[in-house]
Amino acid sequence: MKTKGGLGEIDAPARGGQLFDLITSDSSAAVALRHELHARPELAHREGPTADTIAAALAVPSRRVAGTGLLARVGDRPGPAIVIRAELDGLPIAERTGASFAARNGAMHACGHDVHSAALTAVVNAAATMAERLPAPLIALFQPSEEAYPSGAAQVVEQRALGQDIGAIVGAHVHPGIPWGSVALDAGPVNASSDTVTLKVEGVGAHAAYPHTGRDPILALAATVLSAEAAITRRLDPLASGVLSFGRLNAGRADNVIPHVAEARGTLRALSEEDRTLLAETIESVSTATAAAHGCDAEVTIDRGAPVLDNDAALVSRARDLLGAIGVGLSPPWRSLGADDFSYFRALGPIAMAFVGLQGAPDFDLRPLHHPEFLPPDAAVAQVARLQASLYLSAAAPSQLS
């Protein structure tokens, strides 16, 4: 675990120990910041005041990126920087946690972004006190709009807001499906691609008592939804993963009128780019044919969202070694068809997203992400900070752990 380099002899767990000690000693400030962020959540693309609160808590200068995002850099050693990403936005959910610091503005940090951002602030402030001894420059990215399109991560990538020399991008997310005290960090696809599917079926409107004088788009749409759902189970390898779920159906305005048009909207998820393309083509061909069988026209639109979140194998392997060395338990492999726009950062370099377990945590009522009673305990802030620092250290000095 030791190597000679420009910094002299380095011991990764020992170096981590310094950083972890600093983070732990700062946890009361981080918890206070978490409460402040939690009490005043803002929706995607409106996180300016959240960014201001974090900027004021940071011990280093920061600048705005991608609209309401915030970027801070620690360390000026030459060489590639390691980016740690946290998210800024809340959700349009009325909070029901009953916490003393609960939000009262109709928005809510129901996805743990308050925890992630407070933790990253603690990491930056700890790293700033040992800036000249850091193995690589640390860039903290407080990203806007993870929960809504246009994606904040996509904007950061498009605008090249992180600069040129990026060694890796890492992130940590709390998760109630993973046991408290353990971390899930796995190579390969861990979150799905997420595309929006719109099926618009056009028929011929008619009096509801005389359906034969028109072409019923509601019947055609219903058949199309069933056919599309059935077809993807026949085209996708049963050992692979993908899902099509419709969340909206819209048609008609009167009980006794067959409308001209019916529309369904949903989400399409896959764990590989090949399956993503295969499923999109399947939906398109089956929908068109099914609607035609009912005398209607189907227009299928697939708006591509976040790509598959594909964790870099080498980065993950080094981070797992470091986590093991500092005594953090690793959970069994964890993947889901959830989506996170963190996946866009793959365009800039290797990425690794890890999940911090909440299940069984003290003072935590088990609730899913995005639930109005979802409230990670304050102790999660230090856990997330420690994981962010571990990911940074293992990405920054790969030779230490090889």
Nearer to Zn ion among residue 252 and residue 372 (C-beta): 372
At 254 the three-state DSSP class reads coil
Three-state DSSP class for residue 297: strand
The helix/strand count (H/E) of the chain reads as: 10, 18
How many angstroms from the chain centroid is the CA of residue 132? Answer: 31
Given the complex with Zn ion, which of 101 and 355 has the nearer CB atom?
A: 355
Nearer to Zn ion, 111 or 298 (CB): 111
Taking CA atoms, 216 is separated from 205, 235, 248, 260, 336, in Å, by 7, 28, 19, 7, 38
Compute the least distance from the CB of residue 173 to Zn ion, in Å: 6
- The one-letter amino acid code at 15 reads R
Give me the residues that bind Zn ion (CB under 5 A), please: 111
Closest approach, Cβ 144 to Zn ion, in A, equals 13
Min separation Cβ 373 and Zn ion, Å: 16
Beta-bridged to residue 242, according to DSSP, are: 270
What are the helix (H) ranges across 129-206?
152-158
Residue placing its CB nearer to Zn ion in the complex, 143 or 282: 143
Choose between 68 and 224: whose C-beta lies nearer to Zn ion: 68
Q: Which residues does 398 contact at the CB level (< 8 Å), separation at least 6?
A: 314, 318
The greatest distance separating any two alpha carbons of the chain, rounded to the nearest whole angstrom, comes to 86
Q: How far is the CB of 343 from Zn ion (least distance, A)?
A: 13
Give least dist CB 90 to Zn ion, A: 10
- 8 Å CB contact between 348 and 162: yes
Tell me the C-alpha distance between 47 and 114, whole Å. Answer: 12
Nearer to Zn ion, 224 or 388 (CB): 388
CB of 401 to Zn ion, least distance (A): 28
Least distance (Å) between residue 117 CB and Zn ion: 11
Round to whole Å and give the CA distance between 392 and 166: 12
CA dihedral 361, 31, 145, 81 (to 10 degrees): -100
In the complex, minimum distance from the CB of residue 22 to Zn ion, in angstroms, rounded to a whole number: 26
Q: What is the CA radius of gyration of the chain?
A: 24
Contact, 321 vs 400, CB < 8 A? no
Q: Is the separation of the CB atoms in 382 and 119 below 8 Å?
A: yes
* Residue in the shown chain whose Cβ atom is closest to Zn ion: 111
Residue with tokens 């409230």: 375
Nearer to Zn ion, 186 or 284 (CB): 186
Residues 6 or more apart whose CB falls under 8 angstroms from that of 1 comprise 11, 12, 13, 325, 400, 401
Closest distance to Zn ion from the beta carbon of 110 (Å): 9
